[in-house]
């Protein structure tokens, strides 16, 4: 990372505050292991103010800390892949229950969860009708959206109560998502340039039971709840760098933070107004499209891996505003492209998978 740090200093000045954007290259990829910790008795004052140039310090925690280690898997490596054909990665904390996602350059959506969710030894598949939209990319300050999804599952209840035949559970969720602030966030790990997301979920849970006799469905319980979550995202963070959950009365329920270290010096990647790199992630090639007319200019192209090692260093004579780079020979991982012309210079990041 040291080489990249010095490279970026030469590209553009660093500043204490950088307004970033989050794209798919900052999200989890298959093979990632994401380590986080959670404070279940948090006494932090939060979530702080919305708006630009904010400062949040959530470095103080209680002694009630638990580990939350998340593995990112290919759906085919789970027992439930056939139930979620649109998923391209799965997430698990215990290798027994899984949350499935569809992720692309434009969005990330949870499509369902499966496993021994009730702890009865009986696997349950719970697809999310409509999907739970987690991100629209790029996520930028001021962006917002609303979404809804439904989970409706019926399970064998005999292992729960011998007098019951089946139980039906239905959850209807309406959510509002707003990227309402940017600034610097400090956690027990370090300080990050971050975007803050306020997410409010309004849920209605209904439970029906069907006894062995008489075999008639009866509404057992119906509850409504509102949950407000604040999440802070940073470049390369994969999941939220920090997360605070509050109940409907505004009382804090949980504070979670990531052990991913801040990407020192990489915030300038998000300030790249010179060129776009796509598709991202990619398999075989990436396209570089310049925002301004660079036809006829000479360009220096540099490709680096995540450790800062220079893989390619070439001189280009630009005959168009679009250049294509073959990356089929690269191993899977994160890479950086630097392009310098007489008019401009910038760095951008992409994921090879």
Closest to 177 measured CA to CA, from 142, 220, 210: 142
Quickly count: other Cβ atoms within 10 Å of residue 11's Cβ: 20
Residue 226 pLDDT: 92
- pLDDT of res. 273: 60
d(CA 173, CA 132): 9
The pLDDT, as a whole number, for residue 336 is 85
Measure the CA–CA gap between 249 and 141, rounded to whole angstroms: 27
Q: Where are the beta strands (DSSP E) in 81-163?
A: 89-92, 98-103, 107-115, 124-136, 144-156
Please confirm whether the linkage preceding 138 is cis (ω < 30° from 0).
Answer: yes
d(CA 162, CA 37): 39
> Rounded CA gap, 167 and 156, in Å?
7
Please list the pLDDT of the chain residue by residue as tens digits (353 residues).
333 333 332 333 333 455 788 988 889 989 999 999 999 876 677 799 999 999 999 988 888 899 999 999 999 999 999 999 999 999 999 988 999 999 998 999 999 999 987 667 778 999 999 999 999 999 999 999 999 999 999 988 887 888 999 999 999 999 999 999 999 999 998 889 899 999 999 999 999 999 999 999 999 999 999 999 999 999 889 999 999 988 767 777 789 999 988 875 544 444 456 788 888 888 889 998 887 787 888 888 888 887 667 889 898 888 888 899 999 999 888 888 888 887 777 788 888 87
pLDDT at 307: 66
254-265 burial, b for 16+ CB within 10 Å, e for fewer?
ebbbbbbebbeb
Cross-strand partners of 187: none
Residue closest to 19 by CA, chosen among 272, 325, 256: 272
What domains, with CATH codes, occur in the chain? 2-258 (no CATH), 272-352 (2.60.40.3080)
């Amino acid at each position: 990372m040291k080489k990249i740090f010095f490279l970026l200093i030469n590209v553009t000045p660093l500043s204490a505050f950088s307004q970033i954007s989050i794209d798919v290259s900052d999200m989890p990829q298959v093979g990632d292991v994401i380590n986080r910790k959670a404070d279940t008795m948090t006494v932090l004052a939060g979530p702080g103010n919305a708006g630009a140039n904010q400062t949040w310090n959530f470095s103080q925690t209680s002694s009630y800390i638990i580990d939350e280690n998340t593995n990112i898997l290919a759906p085919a490596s789970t027992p439930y892949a056939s139930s979620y054909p649109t998923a391209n990665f799965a997430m698990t904390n215990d290798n027994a229950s899984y949350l499935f996602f569809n992720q692309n350059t434009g969005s990330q959506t949870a499509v369902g969860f499966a496993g021994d969710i009730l702890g009865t030894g009986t696997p349950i598949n719970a697809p999310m009708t409509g999907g739970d939209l987690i991100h629209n990319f790029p996520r930028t300050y001021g962006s917002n959206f609303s979404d809804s999804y439904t989970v409706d599952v019926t399970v064998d209840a005999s292992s729960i109560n011998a007098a019951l035949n089946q139980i039906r559970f239905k959850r209807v969720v309406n959510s509002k998502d707003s990227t309402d602030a940017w600034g610097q966030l400090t956690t027990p790990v370090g300080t990050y340039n971050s975007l803050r997301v306020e997410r409010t979920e309004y849920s209605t849970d209904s439970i029906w039971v069907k006894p062995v006799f008489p075999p008639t469905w009866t509404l057992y319980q119906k509850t409504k709840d509102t949950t407000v979550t604040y999440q802070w995202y940073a470049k390369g963070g994969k999941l939220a760098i920090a997360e605070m959950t509050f109940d409907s009365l505004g009382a804090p329920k949980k504070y979670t933070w990531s052990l991913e270290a801040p990407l020192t010096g990489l915030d300038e990647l998000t300030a790249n107004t010179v060129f776009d790199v796509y598709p991202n992630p990619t398999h075989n090639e990436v396209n570089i499209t310049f925002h301004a007319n660079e036809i006829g200019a000479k360009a220096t192209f540099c490709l680096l891996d995540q450790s800062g090692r220079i893989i390619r260093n070439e001189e280009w004579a630009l005959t168009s505003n679009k250049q294509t780079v073959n990356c089929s020979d690269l191993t899977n991982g994160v890479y950086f492209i630097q392009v310098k012309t007489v008019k401009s210079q910038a760095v951008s990041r992409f994921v090879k998978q």
